[in-house]
Amino acid sequence: MSIFALDDRLIFPPAEYADDSGLLAAGGDLSARRLLLAYSSGIFPWFSAGDPVLWWSPEPRCIITPDSLRVSRSLSKRLRQSDDVVTFDRDFTAVIDGCASIDGRDSKGGWLTPAMRSAYQTLHAQGYAHSVECWRKGELAGGLYGVALGRCFCGESMFHRQSDASKMAFAALAATLFTTGYALIDCQLPTAHLQSLGGTCVSREHFLQSLRAAGVVPSLIPAAGPFPLGELTARAVTGVLQRWQREGGGAVGGGLDWARE
């Protein structure tokens, strides 16, 4: 199948036209409106330095829902015993720089180019892109960032400098989002790390239907998803997770699977 060549027009071909690898189109730019149209259409950018901008909609797609979220017993114990603090949007720049220096998707490095980082900084300033930080003894130990649209959080990348820090950040994010009505977290590509947290693989059609059900429709100016403020101690994260489990998944249904690890 041919790869679509994008020009200055702010349009994308349907995500269903992606090839077997998930590659849909090449070209265009990283303007905020193009990025928002991409995410709201089930498409994301991913390319290495020196390459044209490449746009993807892979099949299968990795997602985490309230029904699939997993928190291992070992991570739960770590949360209960930890003095770590998790914050939201405390230091977006530090998180995206951390993800760039400890690349999570491309072992050759380079996909989080300066242009990519600048694009997400713009989305952050507009209220679409957000970060979650895990602090250990006052130092940034790990974190993640992504884009919030409707009731879907599109995860982009995570990193850790100390053990379990990115998992703690993710547990805090998932607990908070799912208790406030979010329907899914888009993880894009499956990894062992994400699957240990409950990532499941679904068809592109299933993902796009879930995206629409979460209130996300293709748009140059989609509705931004609500995002928490402030901070949580690691112990408080455990409390939120346990309360959510007792309530059967809160506002969106489902339950928490305490994996035996």
Cis peptide before 218 (omega within 30 of 0): no
Mean predicted lDDT score pLDDT of the chain: 89
pLDDT (mean) for 32-60:
96
pLDDT (0 to 100) of residue 110: 67
Looking at per-residue pLDDT, the higher value among 164 and 103 belongs to: 164
Tell whether the model's pLDDT for residue 56 goes beyond 90. Answer: yes
16-45 mean pLDDT? 98
- What token pair was written down for 100? 């760039």
Q: Above 70 in pLDDT, residue 106?
A: no
User: In this predicted model, which residue has the larger pLDDT, 259 or 227?
Assistant: 227
CB proximity list for 97: less than 8 A, separation 6 or greater: 117
pLDDT at res. 28 = 97
Q: Residue 185 — very low, low, confident or very high, per pLDDT cuts 50/70/90?
A: very high
Q: Do domains 4-56 and 61-252 have the same CATH topology?
A: no
pLDDT band at residue 248, thresholds of 50, 70 and 90? low
Q: How many CA atoms lie within 13 A of 72 on its CB side?
A: 13
- What average pLDDT score do residues 251-255 get? 34
Please name which of 208, 150, 210 lies closest in space to residue 181, comparing C-alpha atoms.
Answer: 150
Q: How far is CA 76 from CA 82, 132, 168, in A?
A: 10, 18, 9
Residue 170 has pLDDT above 80, yes or no: yes
Instruction: Answer whether residue 51 shows pLDDT above 80.
Output: yes
Give me the pLDDT at residue 40, please.
98
Indicate whether 250 pLDDT > 50: no
**Reported pTM:** 0.91
Q: What is the CATH number of domain 4-56?
A: 3.30.70.3550
Examine the pLDDT at 247 and tell me if it is beyond 80. no
CB-CB contact of 213 with 76 (8 Å) = no
Give the lowest-confidence range in 8-12, 15-19, 205-209, 228-232. Answer: 228-232
pLDDT at 253 over 50: no
Give the pLDDT score at 235. Answer: 87
Asked whether the predicted pLDDT for residue 130 surpasses 70, the reply is yes
Domain ranges of the chain: 4-56, 61-252
Average pLDDT, stretch 60-83? 91
Band (109; pLDDT cuts 50, 70, 90): very low
* Per-residue pLDDT at 256: 36
Q: CA 243, CA 175: separation in Å to the nearest integer?
A: 10
CATH 3.40.50.2300 matches 61-252 = no
**Does the pLDDT at position 200 exceed 90?**
yes
